[in-house]
Structure formats: structure tokens, C-alpha cells
Amino acid sequence: MQRRSFFVLTMLAFGFAFLYVPILSMVVFSFNESKLVTVWAGFSFKWYVELFNNAQMLNAAKLSLQIASLNATGAVILGTISGLVLARFGRFRGRTMLSGMTTAPLVMPEVITGLSLLLLFVAMEQAIGWPSGRGVTTITLAHITFSMAYVTVVVQSRLTTFDESLEEAAMDLGARPAKVFFVITLPIILPAIISGWLLAFTLSWDDLVITSFVSGPGSTTLPMLIFSKVRLGVSPDINALATIMVLIVTVGIVGSALWMQRQEKVRQRDVQMAKAANE
């Protein structure tokens, strides 16, 4: 192993500290007795209790959950199709346009996307009467539009590293292209699709700007609620919420990493066994 540069190591340490200190401070102070979030006054769960009794918060959370799930499913369907098209369909009329439309949302400032989508919904409502008013429908449509871009990237890059001879073998054995996709390709790229779903879910769950533009009365999502609260200053129940989310994400990521490691170990063992049998 090479001599690791002192500089690199320090930067690594600093970088990770930079990333985690704010998160950790939020978590620590969620257990603070005092309302003054930054002065420690003793350990307490009271902000968590308050959080769970806050009907407004819970409703907003439920709405966000609903929208995020719908969005993730829609984004995965559309994103997988466009990832497939871009990775497998070679050159076709409109390819540059499609490719452009699926990469631009990745970087487009949200204020622009939000404004443009709202104006579209207003114009549509004027022209054909749908969507009538802004609410869950418009928010979901907007979210699907920008999160499908992320799913496209994930699926497209998975498909480009996919062994095409598997698909050719299936066609050679008599399966038509559509069947090949559902029976061969899809099961194998399923992990990528699942991570695409989770990515789309997180993006929707967390979105503020676009949602603010396209939401209507009665459709207050969790980020909108959080934003209106923190504009006025720190609020310890927000810390409690943050801690819960950090906990869920950590358990999820660490859990899946450990699980994948175990799968890999089992797989390696199988390969070794086969080699040893040496037929």
C-alpha cells in the first residue's frame, strides 16, 4: 500500500468532520431540555413527544409520504423506459432532444422548473379545465418530471454495463424483445431500479421549491411546513424530526450495505465451491 499523503488524510478528516458536525449537533440538541437549542440544559425526550402530538406536522408528513410514493413509482416507470431507450435503441429521430430533456433537470435551478410548471398548470387549467386547482395531482406530476431524470441516469448507466449477450441469447432462443426485457433484463437490473425508486422518493420527500410553486391550499407538505417554521428561527421539534430522519436513513444505508456484503460473501463461497469441484 502506498504511503498516504498527510495532506490527503487531513483533508479527508476535515471533509468528513465538515459533513457530519452539523448533523451531529442537530441530533444532540434534539434531546436538549431547554428550548434554547444551542445551550445544553439536560437530557429530554419532550421535543419528540411534542412532535408526535403536532397534528399539523403529522398531516404534512402523511401528505409528503403519499406524494413521494406516487412520485417514486411513476418516476421509476418513466425513468426505466427512457433509460432503456437511451441505452439500447441506438440512434433514432429525437434522440438528442430526449437525451437533453433527461439531463437538463439534473442541474436546472428549481425556481425555474417550479415557475415553469406552475405556469403550465395554469395554462392547462384555462385551456382544458384540468388540472383543476393546485394540489396533490400537480405536485405529483411536477415531482415525477424532475425525479425521472435521476432514475434515467441510474438505469441507463446500469444498462450500459449490462452484458448484452444475455439479451441476444434469449432472443436466439425464441423470445421476442419485449419478453426479453421483462424476463431477462428487468430481474437482473432490479437492484438499480430499487435504488432509483428510493432516490426518487427522497428527492420528492425533501423538495421545497418546486412544491411551493405548484401546491395549493390544503396541500402543505412537510418541507413547506418545516421551512415556514425555521424561517422564524430554530425550533427543537425540528431537531427531533431531523434526528428521526437521520436514524431511518442510517439504518437503511448501513443495513443494505451489510446485507449486500453478506450476499457477496455467500456468492463468493459458491464460486469457490464450484471451482474446487473442478469438473
Residues 23-82 that bind other proteins (CB under 8 A): 23, 25-26, 29, 36-39, 78-79, 81-82
Quickly count: other Cβ atoms within 10 Å of residue 56's Cβ.
10
Task: Return the residues of window 155-214 that contact other proteins according to CB under 8 A.
Answer: 156-157, 160-161, 163, 165-166, 168-179, 182-184, 186-188, 190, 194, 202, 205-206, 208-209, 212-213
Q: How far is the CB of 139 from other proteins (least distance, A)?
A: 13
Are 112 and 212 a contacting pair, CB within 8 Å? Answer: no
Are 70 and 140 a contacting pair, CB within 8 Å? Answer: yes
Q: Counting every residue, how long is the chain?
A: 279
Q: In angstroms, rounded to a whole number, what is the distance separating the alpha carbons of residues 239 and 32?
A: 10
CA distances from 61 to 139, 220, 223, 240, 241 (A): 15, 9, 9, 14, 10
Cα four-point dihedral sign 167, 170, 171, 176? negative
Cell numbers at residue 4, please?
498516504
Binding mask 130-149 for other proteins (x = CB under 8 A): -----------xx-xx--x-
Q: Is 14 in the site for other proteins (CB under 8 A)?
A: yes
> How many chain residues touch other proteins (CB under 8 A)?
132
Are 125 and 132 a contacting pair, CB within 8 Å? Answer: yes
Pick 45 or 259: Cβ nearer other proteins: 259
- Listed ranges 44-52, 55-63, 129-137, 225-233: which one lies at the site for other proteins (CB under 8 A): 225-233
Cell numbers at residue 36, please?
434554547
Q: Is 115 in the site for other proteins (CB under 8 A)?
A: yes
Pick the binder of other proteins from 111, 218, 228, 265 (CB under 8 A). 111
Pick 8 or 55: Cβ nearer other proteins: 8
Closest CA to 71 of 197, 211, 191, 248: 197
Task: Return the residues of window 238-257 that contact other proteins according to CB under 8 A.
Answer: 238-239, 241-242, 245-246, 249-250, 252-254, 257
Are 231 and 38 a contacting pair, CB within 8 Å? Answer: no
Q: How far is the CB of 146 from other proteins (least distance, A)?
A: 8
CA distances from 192 to 9, 66, 83, 150, 180 (A): 32, 23, 11, 12, 18
Pick the binder of other proteins from 100, 128, 129, 217 (CB under 8 A). 100
Q: How far is the CB of 97 from other proteins (least distance, A)?
A: 8
- Listed ranges 45-53, 54-62, 128-136, 269-277: which one lies at the site for other proteins (CB under 8 A): 269-277
Q: Is 106 in the site for other proteins (CB under 8 A)?
A: yes
Q: How far is the CB of 45 from other proteins (least distance, A)?
A: 19
Pick 45 or 153: Cβ nearer other proteins: 153
